[in-house]
Structure 1
Amino acid sequence: MDRKSSVVARYYAYMALSTLGFLIPVWVVLLDDARGFTYTQISVLDVVFFGTILVAELPTGYLGDRIGRRNALAISSVAIGLAATAFGVAESFESFLVVYVVWGVAQTFRTGNDSAWLYDALVRYGEPESFTRVRGRGLAVFLATNAVTSVAGGYLYAMDPTYPFYATGVVNVLGGVVVATLPEAVVDDADRFTLREARVALSRLAAPSLRGFLVYAALFYAVGWSVDLFVQPISLDAGLDAVELGYLYALLVGASALASNYAGVLAERVGVARLLHGAPVVLGVAFVVLGLSPLAAVPVFLLMRVLLNVTTPVAEGYLNDRTPSLGRATVLSAFSMAVSLASIPVKLASGPLADATTLFVTIGALGVLLLVGSAVVFAVGRPVEDGVPARVVESD
């Protein structure tokens, strides 16, 4: 195995050990059923999480460029492991607030840095064009591991509600050990990232060529992942128990893994612009259908997971192609921050709406929001440029 293959293999191992699968099928069950929280309270916790990301994303993205992206990823894995363990034992709403803040900060050390590290590693080996393929397969490994551990998580929860969270803590700490063996991107002292360069990097997202894409993608991911919150309570209302939820999530995440694995192929065949333009429209229509027909729940949830995950490496690749290496983590962190910003009002509205009406009415309303918002962005201009994206060439 050559050095590049060894690095990619360890990257895949890191992605596998970053799994949250043990807790994915039961975390809302713990909050809703075991702790007795309302949808409004759960949404507030999510708002705190995304608000923390909003505040911490740029500083940690900047730190990732300064202290090294590998080191930032190691910090993130260990901190997420500790937060997951605390999630399982927390009892009061105030305790969960603290856990969500810690988890939010830990997550920001990962977002942006993982994608930027991989892109720079592939550039180092002269293969930047393989980013979407490797990133897509890495996400597929992550999702496939989530699928397997989701089944185990259901059984663990049936044994003791804390066990899935302990298991998540252990594997993520091990992931921190693995990521510490990866090579760090070498940055000359003359090229160290400064605050001035951070402002320049962020100005790229405000450029007309990326502004529409930023708004369009942020709305898509904010609405999509907000609906994901309701999968578990809808499943419980349909009569599923924790073990059956594990198998359901194995199906959902397994389909996501398959889609993510073929993200590069799909982008090449369909086209980046067509894929990123079409996904929000298709998902918005699906949510409206689910709001009118609860029998469509499983197909719509499958479609939702596939669209959210198949577009992630394509959207990241689109940004990477338009961002120089120095500051790439900060730009990607800013993109994550935009998603967090868009998620806050969506969460604040969807939780109380679900408490006041029904989960299906709320999902239908979110579908309308996604369709109307997408139409408004398109009325201003096409969010994604047509054709093969141009490579960014760094000046000396």
Structure 2
Amino acid sequence: MSGNGWGLDTVFVRWMWCRALLHRGWWLVTSVYLVVDAHLSASELVLIGVGQSVVSLLFEVPAGVLADTFSRKWSLVVSHVLMGAAMLATGLVSGFMPLMATQMVWGLSWTFASGADVAWISDELDDPARVSAVLMRSEQAQLTGTVAGLVGVGGLAWLTRPGTALVLAGAAMLLLGLYVVVGFREHRFVTVRTKRWSASWSILIRGSTLVRGSRLVLAIFAATFLVNGVVNAFGRLYPLRLVDLGLSVDPVVWLAGLGVLMSLAGAAGLRIVRPHIDGVHTVRRGYVIACAVAVVGVVGLVGAPGENSGSLAVLLAAGALPLTRTFSTIWVNRQTSSDVRATVHSLLAQAKSLGEITCGLAIAAIAQFADMSIALVTCAALLVITILLVQYFGSPRSERLP
């Protein structure tokens, strides 16, 4: 039990719920703020996402190595400080370049959390079967936390103004860092106290070797590259597409309602999958199905004649795509040893960032020089390629490391 009387799994899941409430509620308001208040164009919206990803690409692996060398817990604390500051600052600026700066700091904050969170709970529990179950629970918690955040932060923005909601959400994220300080013990992790830089380099080499030595892990990395390029671009384009279709109510209210529905649907889907998560085929099939549903949604948004059909298409795509993150995290975690766990997850996050940059720049260029419909069709094509990749290279015979 942890010091406050809760089990470590409960401490972790509740933290994930609270963090999702704040940052996903914040992002709902931010996505509308960037379109309605800051009046950014389609290409500028995608380029902000690319800016975030550049920062993540540069700092992801160093942050992961530091977490494996110094502390997973304190890496998460640093993440909260940076994240809260960026969220707060977003509500205080409105120009493209200042907003780019705040979003880049927000991207930096995630480099200290991605990998460190999974590595912390995996090592402290030290039970692979239990860890997979906790990761599924935490994803469900993030989805239900998203519902609370969309309603709470979105409602606050509607009652006051978007800038006020963004500032308050950022302040709350800073305070949530205290929960990590108090509630996260770190008994199993051993800090490297001598020759830290050589030890850090050794950790990076071992983690990279593990990735290169597994056909399955390489396939997951490639799929992550493609899927997250789509997630990043689609997440920034669909609010603009829905606004262009004509929304009959306030965009914040409409998008909050959509977010609630897609989060509840995702949580229900994970609830169904959770009892079977240890099956040989479950993760791969879940990944493929999520991508296939997203293809239907993205193509549906292109041809949608109005707000209702467009919203249904968004519900399918944006509801299915986040599930791929859960499946890839569990998939990679099974292949990773304790001493390089945060580093390998950071390498996975780096593949995500590289995909957001490469695919994001391509989709931004298409949106700028062609039109949004062609950009969305490109997103669907990338998802089809991902399905073929996972089906061919993600077979059960590659499940274990050579």
Q: Normalising by structure 2, report the TM-score.
A: 0.87
- Cα drift, residue 351 of structure 1: 2.7
Asked if residue 136 in structure 1 is aligned to residue 136 in structure 2, the reply is yes
Contact kept? 1:65, 1:327, Cα under 8 Å: yes
Residue of 108, 113, 116 corresponding to 1:113: 116
Change in Cα spacing, 1:44 to 1:363, as seen in structure 2 (3 Å) is same
2:209 pairs with one of 203, 206, 217 = 203
C-alpha spacing 1:111/1:196, structure 2 compared with 1 (3 Å): same
For residues 200-259 of structure 1, give each alpha carbon's deviation from its aligned partner in whole angstroms, at most 9, with x where no partner exists.
Answer: 211222224222221123212321332122232233333131223322222222323333
Which has the larger displacement, 63-72 or 253-262?
Answer: 253-262
Gaps in structure 1 of 5+ consecutive residues: none
Cα distance in 2 between the residues matched to 1:289 and 1:17: 33
Deviation at 1:86, TM superposition (A): 0.3
Change in CA separation of 1:224 and 1:21 when aligned onto 2, cut-off 3 Å? closer
Pairing 1:279–2:285 present = no
Map residues 16-95 of structure 1 onto 2, 5 A cutoff: 16-19=17-20, 20-95=23-98
**Shift of the alpha carbon at 1:311?**
3.0
C-alpha contact 1:40 1:351 (8 A) present in aligned 2? yes
How far apart, CA to CA, are the structure 2 residues paired with 1:15 and 1:2? Answer: 16
Matched, 1:319 2:332: yes
The verdict on how the C-alpha distance between 1:31 and 1:188 changes in structure 2, with shifts beyond 3 A counting, is: closer
Number of aligned pairs?
Answer: 386
Are 2:377 and 1:364 equivalent residues in the alignment?
Answer: yes
Please give the secondary structure, in 2, of the residue aligned with 1:36: coil
Quote the residue 2:165 is aligned against.
164
Deviates more, 1:265-274 or 1:132-141: 265-274
- In structure 2, the partner of 1:299 is 312
Q: Is the 8 A contact 1:52 1:101 kept in 2?
A: yes
257 and 271 in structure 1: CA distance in 2 versus 1, 3 angstrom threshold? closer
Paired position in structure 2 for 1:226 = 233
Change (3 A) 1:246 1:284: closer
Taking the aligned partners of 1:175 and 1:367, their CA distance within structure 2 comes to 37
What is the Cα deviation at residue 330 of structure 1?
0.5
Deviates more, 1:264-273 or 1:220-229: 264-273
Q: How far 1:263 sits from its partner (Å)?
A: 4.4
The Cα offsets for residues 34-75 of structure 1, whole Å up to 9 and x where unpaired, read as 112111112111111001000000110011112210110111
Q: Secondary structure at the match of 1:382?
A: helix
CA separation in 1, counterparts of 2:168 and 2:191?
A: 40
CA contact (8 A) 1:143 1:254 kept: yes
Task: For residue 30 of structure 1, report the CA deviation from its aligned partner.
Answer: 1.1
Unpaired runs of 5+ residues, structure 2, are none
Distance 2:357 2:144 in 1: 29
Q: Answer yes or no: is the 8 Å Cα contact 1:218–1:338 preserved in 2.
A: yes
Partner SS for 2:210: helix
Identity of aligned residues (%): 22
Distance (whole Å) between structure 1 residues aligned to residue 316 and residue 125 of structure 2: 31
Q: Distance in 2 between matches of 1:62 and 1:231?
A: 35
Amino acid aligned to 1:51: V
Task: State how far apart, in whole Å, the 2-side matches of 1:315 and 1:385 are.
Answer: 14
Letter in 2 for 1:283: A
Residue 148 of structure 1: aligned partner:
148
Q: How large is the Cα RMSD of the aligned pairs?
A: 2.7
Structure-1 separation of matches of 2:314 and 2:267: 14
> CA distance change for structure 1 residues 88 and 143 in 2, over 3 Å: closer, same or farther?
same
Q: Distance in 2 between matches of 1:304 and 1:267?
A: 22
Shift of 1:364: 2.1
Q: Is the 8 A contact 2:56 2:111 kept in 1?
A: yes
- Distance in 2 of aligned mates of 1:177 and 1:248: 32
Distance 2:304 2:146 in 1: 29
Aligned to 2:103: 100
Amino acid at match of 1:254: L
Q: Residue deviations 1:339-388, cap 9 Å, x none? A: 1101112221223433455434421221023224544x36xx83323179
The 2-side partners of 1:122 and 1:314 are apart by 20
How far the C-alpha of 1:81 sits from its partner, in A, is 0.7
SS in 2 for 1:18: helix
> Which residue of structure 2 aligns with residue 344 of structure 1?
357
Q: Give me the TM-score of the superposition, normalised by structure 1.
A: 0.88
Deviation at 1:183, TM superposition (A): 0.8
Kept in 2: contact 1:136–1:262 (CA 8 A): no
Choose from 294, 301, 310 the match for 2:323: 310
